[in-house]
Amino acid sequence: MSRAKRPAQGMALPHKALPVRGQKFFSNRSCYSRSEAARMNSRALCFFLGGAAIFLGTAYAIDRTLPHPFREFPGIEYQLGSISLPADAQERTEWAFARLMFPGGWNDGYAGREGDWHEGVSLWTQDFPRADRHFSLAVRRLTRIHVRSVEQAINLEDPDEVYNWPWVYAVQVGEWGITDQQAKKLRDYLLRGGFFMADDFHGTTEWQVFQESMNRVFPDRRLIDIPDADPIFHTVYNLDQRYQIVGHEHLDTGHKLDGFVPRWRGIYDDKGRIMVAASFNSDIGDSWEWADSPDYPEQYSALGVRIGVNYIVYAMSH
């Protein structure tokens, strides 16, 4: 049997036959009709528009969760422009003094002299902004925390703003009137790791007002005395020896109303972390506000600043 001849070395292999006239040569482009191509273009456009919508929606959602820019509010004691703004008012820092905004309650001592609490000049602005800025300066000097020199007013009615701040402060909480929705938001913030410093409330009636409000925040938890050995009193300064911090207007009597004995009380989470620290029968805000006044006793400002620093470092590390 004869064998098929192999091509000689160097001989070219025969080419594949080219299409003859009338035979269709299919390419990728000619595989689709015009209607099919139009449908593909429509799908591509839909994918593009869908991706753009997702991008814009994500950007909007992220923007909503970012901290609001600093806004200046008039206070019940200090009007706009009475305290000059520092240069870093809009700086993004590690910590800023976050002050809770809230409506007054049934026993609000400023009733009749206030405007819309959303716009300042109301109970929540007691000592504001002088106390906030004095204390912020102290935190900057006494710690390595990157601190902004101005405060941030926080409205619990805002959907996401409070979650940007690890430590929030409120004054005159024995006269406030937070709503059920605000109480619910505060509860969620605290259970997620937030810290609330409640200050400047005195005597039997104001304790009852504050306790009722915290029962709405935490129906299942109680305010208890914080033990001296708790880490919150030892994060930076050892504060076993604490005493009543008297407000500027009550230096002559040494107390306000029937608030004779200072109490340092708190609410703990399930892991033993303090979520709420209440300085009952003391006015720490005044100790910050009047820290530069020769007429205000230095011992009150010294303790007030140390307590505040401990609370901040505790809040940011627990």
102: CATH: 3.40.50.12140
- In terms of residue numbers, what domain contains 157? 73-317
52 belongs to a structural domain? yes
Least confident of 2-16, 111-125, 262-276: 2-16
Grade residue 274 by pLDDT with cuts at 50, 70 and 90. Answer: very high
Report pLDDT for 66.
85
Phi, psi of 104 (to 5 degrees): -75, 160
Nearest to 85 by CA among 76, 98, 73, 93: 73
Residues 233 and 101 in one domain: yes
78 and 183 together in one domain: yes
Q: Is residue 22 part of a domain?
A: no
Residue 11 lies in a domain: no
**Residue 304: what residue type?**
G
DSSP sequence for 96-150? --EEEE--B-TT-TTTTS---GGGSSSGGGTTTTHHHHHHHHHHHHHS---B-SS
Task: Indicate whether 8 pLDDT > 90.
Answer: no
Distance, in Å, from the CA atom of 154 to the CA atom of 299, rounded to the nearest integer, reads 30
pLDDT recorded at residue 203 = 98
What pLDDT sits at residue 45? 62
Asked if residue 124 and residue 169 are part of one domain, the reply reads yes
Domain count, the chain: 2
Give yes or no: residues 239 and 135 share one domain. yes
Asked, for residue 203, whether it belongs to a domain, the answer is yes
Asked if 237 and 124 sit in the same domain, the reply is yes
Is the preceding omega at residue 129 within 30 degrees of 0, hence cis? yes
Mean pLDDT of the chain: 88
**Residue 5 confidence (pLDDT) above 70:** no
Q: CA separation (Å) from 9 to 4, 13, 14, 287?
A: 15, 10, 14, 103
Residue 79: per-residue pLDDT: 93
Phi, psi for residue 251 in degrees, rounded to 5: -65, -30
- As a whole-number percent, the residues of the chain with pLDDT over 70 amount to 80
Same domain, 111 and 40: no
C-beta separation of 103 from 179 below 8 A: yes
In the predicted model, is pLDDT for residue 31 greater than 70? no
Same domain, 142 and 168: yes
* Claim to verify: residue 93 and residue 115 sit in the same structural domain: yes
* Residue 291, CA distances (Å) to 87, 106, 132, 287, 301 in order: 22, 31, 11, 6, 5
User: Do 44 and 192 sit in the same domain of this protein?
Assistant: no
Mean pLDDT of 100-106: 98
User: Do 78 and 192 fall into the same domain?
Assistant: yes
Whether 13 maps to a domain, the answer reads no
* Under 8 Å between Cβ of 200 and 285: yes
Residue at 16 is within a domain: no
* pLDDT band of 140, cuts 50, 70, 90: very high
Closest-CA residue to 209 (of 287, 109, 120): 109
High-pLDDT (> 90) share of the chain, % = 79
Report the residue count for the chain. 318
Q: Do 207 and 281 reside in the same domain of the chain?
A: yes
**Are both 173 and 42 inside the same structural domain?**
no
- In this prediction the pTM is 0.81
Reduced to 3 states (helix: H, G, I; strand: E, B; else coil), residue 275 is strand
- Residue 34: the pLDDT is 65
In a domain, 10, yes or no: no
Amino acid type, 147: V
In a domain, 6, yes or no: no
